[in-house]
Amino acid sequence: MARAATAGIVAADAGIDAMTLSNLALWQRVRDYVLPLDSGNRTFEEQLIVAHGINRRTAKAAILEYRKFLYLAAISDRRVVPSRAVDAVWHLHLGHTRDYWDRFCEQIGQRLHHTPGTPPGHGKDYAATLARYRAEFEQDPPAHFWHQPSGFYGFAGLALAAVLAAVAATGWLGDQSDAAFVVAGVIALASLPSVLRGLGVWKTPALRNQSAVPQGKTLNTNSASCGGGCGGGCGGD
């Protein structure tokens, strides 16, 4: 009882309810771990800011999500998949090889491996990672860092455009056929960016600035599709 009460206070500053964490001590170690300076004495946060051209607020938030991911990877027996944003932070940390392997991994007592590539089952593993995130931290993963474009709206738009064009081609619309073709064309064009992002052909930067006002939008399981672009990094196996 006393232990749980203390734990609640300690975990509160990260907005996390200690009661749901399956390994509180481990989370505290990961949360409080001091990430490495570079040899020019820049802090980890500054390195991330410079490498990705993002602001400090975004960098801080991204690093917190990375810590949560590390924790999930450490408690999981199965493969865990980061989002592209989290993977970008992981890559920066992996570049500090001494710190990562000789300090960090020693402190958490595990060697967390990173394996690039998207094998079959990648999307399922990503969904499982998000589910574990919710279970452990009792919150939805912030969409800004965890949403992977699935191209759903893009494909839906393309389908709509195709139907509209087909209807126009039958001539049922009479004089309006030409206008319907134009509308179908516009919808198809507007859908294209979403489709390209969903297919992973067009890669937006892994880390983008958050808007100044914290987004109310959180991730819902159905819209979070990993697609082929999960940064390719996967831990815990």
Partner 1 sequence: MTLTDRALWARIESHPLPADAAGVSFEDQLRKLHRISGRTARAAIAEYRRFLYLSALKQGRTVPTKAVDEVWHLHLTHTKDYWETFVPNALGGAAIHHTPGSPDSHVSDFRATRARYEAEFDEDPPKGFWAIQTRRGALLSQGVMVAFGSLFLWIGLTNDAPWPWLAIVLLFLVLATTVFVRSAATSGGDGNTFQFGIDIWADGEGGDCGDCGGGCGD
Nearest distance from C-beta of residue 2 to partner 1, angstroms: 40
Q: Looking at residues 15 to 54 of the shown chain, list those that interact with partner 1 (rule: CB under 8 A).
A: 37-42, 47
Looking at the Cβ atoms of 122 and 132, the one nearer to partner 1 is 122
Q: What is the DSSP letter of 200?
A: T
**Listed residue (91, 112, 120, 84) closest to 207, CA to CA:** 84
Instruction: Give 3-state DSSP helix, strand, coil % of the chain, rounded to 5.
Output: 60, 0, 40
**Choices 62-70, 134-142, 146-154, 228-236; region in contact with partner 1 by CB under 8 A:** 228-236
Residue entry with tokens 């209807």:
167
Rg of the chain over all Cα atoms, to the nearest angstrom: 22
Nearest distance from C-beta of residue 145 to partner 1, angstroms: 19
Distance CA 106, CA 121 (A): 30
Looking at the Cβ atoms of 60 and 111, the one nearer to partner 1 is 111
Distance CA 28, CA 16 (A): 11
Distance CA 208, CA 144 (A): 8
Nearest distance from C-beta of residue 92 to partner 1, angstroms: 8
Nearest distance from C-beta of residue 190 to partner 1, angstroms: 26
How many residues interact with partner 1 (rule CB under 8 A)? 26
Q: Are 139 and 219 in contact (CB under 8 A)?
A: no
* x/- letters, 133..172, toward partner 1 (CB under 8 A): ----------------------------------------
Nearest distance from C-beta of residue 37 to partner 1, angstroms: 8
Looking at the Cβ atoms of 51 and 180, the one nearer to partner 1 is 51
Q: Is 65 helix (H, G, I), strand (E, B) or coil?
A: helix
Looking at the Cβ atoms of 154 and 233, the one nearer to partner 1 is 233
Q: Looking at residues 51 to 110 of the shown chain, list those that interact with partner 1 (rule: CB under 8 A).
A: 91-92, 94-98, 101
Distance CA 20, CA 15 (A): 12
Q: Are 154 and 192 in contact (CB under 8 A)?
A: yes
Nearest distance from C-beta of residue 87 to partner 1, angstroms: 9
Which residues are at the interface with partner 1 (CB under 8 A)? 37-42, 47, 91-92, 94-98, 101, 111, 113-119, 232-234
